[in-house]
Amino acid sequence: MSQHGNLQDTGAEKTVPREKFVVEDPPPEPVYTRYRVEPGKPLKLSSVDPDESGRYERKKDARKELELQRRHLQDLQEKLYAENKHGLLIVLQAMDTGGKDGTIKHVFEGVNPQGCRVSSFKAPSAEERNHDFLWRYHKSAPAVGRIGIFNRSHYEDVLVVRVKNLVPEEVWRKRYELINNFERGLVLNGITILKFYLHISKGEQKKRLESRLDDPDKRWKFSSNDIKERALWGAYQEAFEDAIAACSTEWAPWYVVPANKKWYRNLVIARTIADTLEAIDPRFPLAEEGLEKVEIPD
């Protein structure tokens, strides 16, 4: 691991931060791996309970723990930014109403916006379609020192694109490998990748769509297209299973997070991110020498 302790105290090391280019491979592992999909294993989403909430029964039981994890994440993000050596890419995918926006709002509350960027991906523009499918995602990938959040991602190109037959199978089939290589390239450049599938049930989606219709403040989120997409639930689940199984790698794991209970989803994601940052172990850079003698002139 490219730890700080490895820095030898020679004059040359001070001017050339060599360890900036040394990336741990595979990347540091978080301790909290409960919902991680092991590489190379097939996945059946129906075997994961979307209602699960661990040892918590009610929202208020988890409130303190969420606050703790959030604060931890905020502290580590500050160090990640200051150190400017590692970055983090968080990929959020879900069925419609799965809670991608809510996750961003609640997990990143209080994180310094300066070191963080959310990229939301809709259907590609004409220009984007004229490039290889990864082009627009690569442009939005985070630099070292930053956290990038993908609200939808390059996985749409093997999800909606597959389900809606937007390109022939021989085109999307090859994309799993292209995605794995793309992600590997980011990892070797110092970017740790975490991918979350927010797992809700079809019944829960019905409730959430109904509440969008009922609540005037939520109605703007409803699209009649959501009903057409819902009819394709089975095909989407299959596409998710294949994508997650093919692309949960040692260097960029997928996590399938029970998401019927929003508070539990937030807690699991906050904890997984904080724990991953903890494993990266970012540190504030050393201060200049002799600062104790500095006086600020009047």
Contact residues for ligand AMP (CB under 6 A)?
121-124, 152, 156-157, 160-161
Residue nearest to ligand AMP (CB): 156
CB of 122 to ligand AMP, least distance (A): 4
**198 bridge partner residues:** 94, 257
Q: Which is nearer to ligand AMP, 7 or 160 (by Cβ)?
A: 160
CB of 8 to ligand AMP, least distance (A): 47
Q: Which is nearest to 199 in space by CA: 57, 2, 35?
A: 35
Q: Are 196 and 269 in contact (CB under 8 A)?
A: yes
Q: Which is nearer to ligand AMP, 157 or 183 (by Cβ)?
A: 157
Q: Which is nearer to ligand AMP, 32 or 196 (by Cβ)?
A: 196
Q: Which is nearer to ligand AMP, 59 or 221 (by Cβ)?
A: 221
Q: Which is nearest to 268 in space by CA: 35, 90, 37, 30?
A: 35
Q: 179: which 2 tokens?
A: 């995605």
DSSP H/E element including 72: helix 59-83
Q: Are 267 and 69 in contact (CB under 8 A)?
A: yes
CB of 17 to ligand AMP, least distance (A): 37
**Quick check: bond before 50 cis, omega within 30?**
no
Q: Which is nearer to ligand AMP, 244 or 280 (by Cβ)?
A: 244
What is the dihedral angle through the alpha carbons of 163, 164, 168, 171, rounded to the nearest 10 degrees?
-60
CB of 167 to ligand AMP, least distance (A): 9
DSSP H/E element including 227: helix 225-231
> Whole-angstrom Cα distance, residue 187 to residue 141?
11
> Whole-angstrom Cα distance, residue 5 to residue 85?
15
Q: Which is nearer to ligand AMP, 207 or 228 (by Cβ)?
A: 228
CB of 37 to ligand AMP, least distance (A): 22
Q: Which is nearer to ligand AMP, 24 or 242 (by Cβ)?
A: 242
CB of 230 to ligand AMP, least distance (A): 12
CB of 121 to ligand AMP, least distance (A): 5
Q: Which amino acid is at 184?
A: R
Q: Which is nearer to ligand AMP, 72 or 221 (by Cβ)?
A: 221
The residues near 291 (Cβ < 8 Å, ≥ 6 apart) are none
CB of 48 to ligand AMP, least distance (A): 22
Q: Are 101 and 93 in contact (CB under 8 A)?
A: no
